[in-house]
Structure 1
Amino acid sequence: MKIIDAQIHIWTQTVTPPSGLHRKVPKYTAEEALKEMDEAGVDAALIHPPYSWDPDSNAYAVESAKKYPDRFAVMGQFPLDDPESRKRIVGWRNQPGMMGLRWALLYPDQQKALHEGKLDWVWPAAEKEGLPVATMAGLFLPQFRKIAEAHPQLKLIIDHCGLLRLEKDAAAFGKLDELCALARLPNVAVKATGAPGYSTQPYPFRNLHDGLHRIFDAYGPKRFFWGTDITRMPCTWRQCVTMFTEELPWLKGNDLEQVMGRGLCEWIGWNYNFD
């Protein structure tokens, strides 16, 4: 079974320290990631450039995907407040390894722009270009629903299980009903990334399993993507893998293959060789 991580960050410089619980290191290179991936049995990974702390990370991600085409692809980004960005979205996938777009929309100014409609141009433009878009929609599920309903041909991905970013354990699943209700929209998928970071328990983080099962049941194996966000995980990459491959009795067979990589590749159009 091929295992493909739905989200990692790599970077070569920092203007500001990496955000949140990410490793406080000046760089985390493609080669460092590949070493850890090989040790963990991870075949490939989808890079999300951490633009907020390394403005050159998008170019570095593309360079890495070009250098290691069988190991990396990219969900890139560009500055949303730059008028020139409206031109950049045309032909975006012509870059090596580029699959789509991802903005966390985490910071207050981004949230303000979202709710004021200043980002309304992005969704139809991405829909027209056939670009999947990932975001931390758990921060703004009602607004996210409106976007998904208004653009049914736009493939959207909810980051980090749609959990509440600053909560732990049961509290992290505070919007679980609303998240699962979004599964009725066929253009919405969920990245099951970063799950161990939401638990105060040790591996295998059993207090998360029921919530993950509910999300899986709602979205199904082709819209529920395993991944790590490894540079902020409280456990090893291998443990992130085995939490899903060995500790979830309801995730087996073809469903497991879909969750661990096939579903992601089909959703974003990554023509990965599974043979």
Structure 2
Amino acid sequence: MIVDTHTHVFTNDRMTYPQFADTPRAGTIPSISDIGQEPWPETTAEKLIAQMDAAGVDKATLVQAYFVYEYDNRYTVDSANAYPDRFVSICALDPAAPESPDKLSNLVENAGVKGIRFMRGRLPKCTLGDPETHALWKRIAELKIPLCIHDKVEELPRVRALLERYPEINVAFDHGWGHKVGEPPYPMIKALFDLAIFPNAYVKTAINNIVAAREGVGTPQIFYTKLIESFGAHRIMWSSNYPAHPHFGSIASRLEVAKKALAFLSSDEQAWIFGRTALRVWPWLAG
């Protein structure tokens, strides 16, 4: 089974699902881009399923499209609930807001949400391990759901104490840390490798990590060897990050790049990275 652990969905139905940051409308010339990057193609749940089927991807996690809807999780949740045989939903909430723990409980208990993502996003003054976030960490542990973290690599040490305090929370560090990885032995992202000592720390990788690994004197083989030596394949997960960074193409093309880059690994290691690790973190996907 192949599982894509990081996809986003959004729709041009702005009446039902108003957008926080307006995306280009279907049939128009794109003029508003995602945080200064390329405009995302409209990706409804149905369009995402078509992409997955073309790529041979069985399941996916729907990660809240923060830069489209911010903390309005309705379209992500509705999409996952409409296709429970293909998706689980991962919401986004303000990690420092005092009302977020109760909002998360409602989403998990009444809307079927199976994870939460901490986004630095528009919170430059808040580090995701700050005391203001501790109440939400505690609630995540009580609800027994995974946590995904998207933060600046230099801020990752700030969550070490929470990883130790809540060993029952599986924490997946998103591909965002690896837009640049530097050259071997990768001192630029040492803060990520340092977290490998925690058995509840996981890593999501995406095509941007593979591209970054090719820069300088590095190669994907050197980079992923280091990653596996640190975390083990059973704590690494593949993701397409579709539809972000549209120049990387379809889910099928992103998967093909990943398979070629990781072809040097054993079949068992590849099985973990392309599916089994995801089922370990999100067992609900097993169906």
TM-score, L = length of structure 2: 0.80
Partner of 2:270: 256
- CA distance in structure 2 between the partners assigned to 1:52 and 1:248 by the alignment: 30
Partner of 2:24: none
Aligned-residue CA RMSD in angstroms? Answer: 2.9
Give the aligned residue type for 1:226.
W
Quote how far apart the aligned CAs of 1:55 are: 4.3
Does the 8 Å CA contact 1:135/1:158 hold for their aligned counterparts? yes
Specify every segment of 5 or more residues in structure 1 that has no aligned partner in the other structure, as ranges: none
Give the aligned residue type for 1:230.
Y
Q: Equivalent residues in 2 for 1:14-29 (5 A)?
A: 14-16=19-21, 17-21=33-37, 23-25=39-41, 27-29=42-44
- CA distance in structure 1 between the partners assigned to 2:235 and 2:213 by the alignment: 27
Does the 8 Å CA contact 2:96/2:126 hold for their aligned counterparts? no
Partner of 1:70: 85
Counterparts in 2 of 1:20 and 1:124: CA distance versus 1, 3 Å: farther
Aligned residues: 265
Higher deviation after alignment, 87-96 or 235-244? 87-96
Give the aligned residue type for 1:123.
W
Q: Equivalent residues in 2 for 1:117-196 (5 A)?
A: 117-137=131-151, 138-160=153-175, 162-163=177-178, 165=179, 167=180, 170=183, 173-195=186-208
Counterparts in 2 of 1:8 and 1:162: CA distance versus 1, 3 Å: same
- CA distance in structure 2 between the partners assigned to 1:128 and 1:231 by the alignment: 32
- CA distance in structure 1 between the partners assigned to 2:45 and 2:268 by the alignment: 30
- CA distance in structure 2 between the partners assigned to 1:56 and 1:150 by the alignment: 26
Quote how far apart the aligned CAs of 1:261 are: 1.3
For residues 71-92 of structure 1, give each alpha carbon's deviation from its aligned partner in whole angstroms, at most 9, with x where no partner exists.
1111112334543323123354
Is residue 217 from structure 1 mapped to residue 229 from structure 2 by the alignment? yes
SS of corresponding position for 1:152: coil
Counterparts in 2 of 1:155 and 1:40: CA distance versus 1, 3 Å: same
Counterparts in 2 of 1:68 and 1:157: CA distance versus 1, 3 Å: same
Does the 8 Å CA contact 1:99/1:269 hold for their aligned counterparts? no
Partner of 1:99: 114
- CA distance in structure 1 between the partners assigned to 2:20 and 2:210 by the alignment: 25
Quote how far apart the aligned CAs of 1:229 are: 0.7
Does the 8 Å CA contact 2:127/2:158 hold for their aligned counterparts? no
Partner of 1:207: 219
Partner of 2:63: 48
- CA distance in structure 2 between the partners assigned to 1:24 and 1:239 by the alignment: 16
Counterparts in 2 of 1:70 and 1:106: CA distance versus 1, 3 Å: same
Is residue 231 from structure 1 mapped to residue 243 from structure 2 by the alignment? yes
Identical-pair percentage: 22
Higher deviation after alignment, 218-227 or 83-92? 83-92
SS of corresponding position for 2:35: coil
SS of corresponding position for 1:70: coil
- CA distance in structure 2 between the partners assigned to 1:63 and 1:91 by the alignment: 14
- CA distance in structure 2 between the partners assigned to 1:254 and 1:161 by the alignment: 26
